């Protein structure tokens, strides 16, 4: 029988706007992640020498996020040099995949204590930096897709068209995200998961900068389409071009981390597990639509677990764009009230490599506050993929 992989704790920084002038733009991404790692072990009175591995997610692994930023961060956090670390890229699901790999290492008996984490400083290492101005696709890829693939914003437009969602639905959903996140922040719901960050000027940043409490459908309706160009409009003449900056997730800076270990080691250390990992899956999907993998990933993980959608108490489906969770709702028949009940990435930000463990912490805290048992997390990913994770609160 495999070991049980349990979640001891999950922490994150507040979300900063991922552009110059954002609250976290003055902090090196390795230092940002180190802040969370240091607090994670301190809060749980854990000797970091006991950690078997640190697995981190990061999408733009270039410049300040290059050279294995996870290893740099753990050393910056003061961990012994005997603790290894690696950085992975499954696009937006990078830290969710890191948590999967960490849990699987524990379940297989190859590790007892693993930290899964992630970081992205989109203000300091802009999205697309890793390509270095070159074409990442080779000849064979261009032969398979001769008309070329599209960016995620156009994929979100294609999803909007396929499911006939419409601009009003996108804007209403985006307003809902900000409304729920603002209410959760006002109640102090995020207090248990946020690590305050001291900035270079000595000021302390402790609240999400990306939440806009006054967001309304009326304000969002005045925004222009973000991804329409004349060339794309000619290629896709049936698109309505309804995706805007307001119904998309913002560029974001942030870091997050979760402490995972075997139930046996947790008992030995006197730590109380908060949840256990039950099931995982990852799927590929059409790279043109790109962001729809959350649908088959959900269907597969529920079948694997022997559960139905109505058995799940809360779902965190990443809000890269409003059309993604709305299409997911249409296909799964899930209860809308259980979807991203504290708001999602449209309000809380999408620091790419960090978002997976950020969602995990928000989901776990919600289950604990509401008494829910089952939580489902699913993340759409660049290139047409999706991760899904099922946790059970203990």
- For the annotated catalytic residues, the residue numbers are 92, 350, 380
Tokens linked to 391: 């946790």
Name the E strands within 40-195.
Answer: 53-57, 85-88, 113-121
Cα gap 102→210, rounded to integer Å = 29
Distances (CA, A) of 177 to 11, 212, 264, 325: 21, 10, 39, 11
What is each CA distance from 167 to 29, 176, 213, 222, 240, in whole angstroms?
36, 14, 21, 11, 9
- Rounded Cα distance between 291 and 327, Å, is 10
- Residue 278: φ, ψ to 5°: -105, -50
Q: Which two tokens stand for residue 214?
A: 């006054």
- Three-state DSSP at 283 gives strand
DSSP H helices in 197-271:
217-221, 230-235, 263-269
Question: What's the CA dihedral at 10, 11, 17, 20 to 10 degrees?
Answer: -130
Task: State CA 353 to chain mean position distance.
Answer: 7
């Amino acid at each position: 029988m495999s070991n049980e992989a349990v979640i001891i704790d999950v922490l994150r920084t507040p979300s900063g706007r991922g552009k110059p002038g954002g609250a976290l733009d003055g902090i090196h991404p390795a230092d940002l992640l180190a802040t969370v790692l240091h607090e994670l072990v301190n809060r749980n009175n854990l000797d970091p020498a006991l950690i078997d591995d640190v697995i981190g997610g990061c999408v733009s692994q270039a410049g300040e996020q290059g050279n294995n930023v996870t290893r740099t961060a753990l050393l910056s956090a003061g961990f012994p040099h005997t603790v290894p670390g690696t950085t992975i890229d499954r696009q937006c699901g990078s830290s969710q995949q890191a948590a999967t790999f960490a849990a699987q290492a524990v379940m297989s008996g190859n590790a007892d204590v693993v930290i899964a984490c992630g970081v992205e400083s989109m203000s300091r290492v802009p999205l697309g930096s890793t390509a270095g101005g070159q074409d990442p696709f080779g000849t064979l890829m261009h032969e398979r897709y001769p008309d070329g693939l599209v960016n995620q914003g156009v994929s979100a437009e294609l999803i909007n068209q396929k499911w006939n969602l419409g601009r009003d639905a996108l804007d209403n959903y985006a307003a809902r995200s900000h409304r729920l996140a603002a209410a959760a922040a006002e109640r102090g719901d995020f207090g248990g998961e946020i690590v305050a960050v001291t900035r270079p000027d000595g000021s302390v940043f402790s609240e999400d900068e990306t939440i806009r409490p006054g967001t309304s459908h009326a304000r969002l309706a005045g925004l222009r389409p973000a991804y329409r160009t004349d060339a794309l409009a000619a290629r896709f003449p049936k698109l309505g071009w309804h995706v805007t900056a307001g119904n998309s997730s913002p560029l974001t800076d942030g870091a997050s981390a979760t402490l995972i270990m075997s139930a046996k080691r947790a008992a030995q250390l006197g730590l109380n597990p908060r949840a256990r990992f039950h099931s995982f899956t990852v799927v590929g999907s059409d790279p043109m639509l790109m962001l729809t993998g959350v649908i088959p990933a959900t269907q597969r993980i529920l079948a694997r677990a022997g559960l139905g959608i109505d058995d799940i108490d809360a779902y965190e489906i990443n809000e890269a764009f409003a059309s993604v969770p709305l299409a997911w709702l249409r296909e799964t028949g899930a209860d809308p009230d259980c979807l991203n009940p504290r708001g999602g990435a449209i309000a809380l930000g999408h620091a790419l490599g960090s978002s997976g463990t950020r969602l995990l912490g928000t989901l776990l805290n919600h289950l604990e506050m509401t008494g829910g048992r089952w939580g489902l997390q699913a993340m759409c990913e660049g290139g047409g993929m999706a991760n899904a994770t099922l946790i059970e609160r203990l």
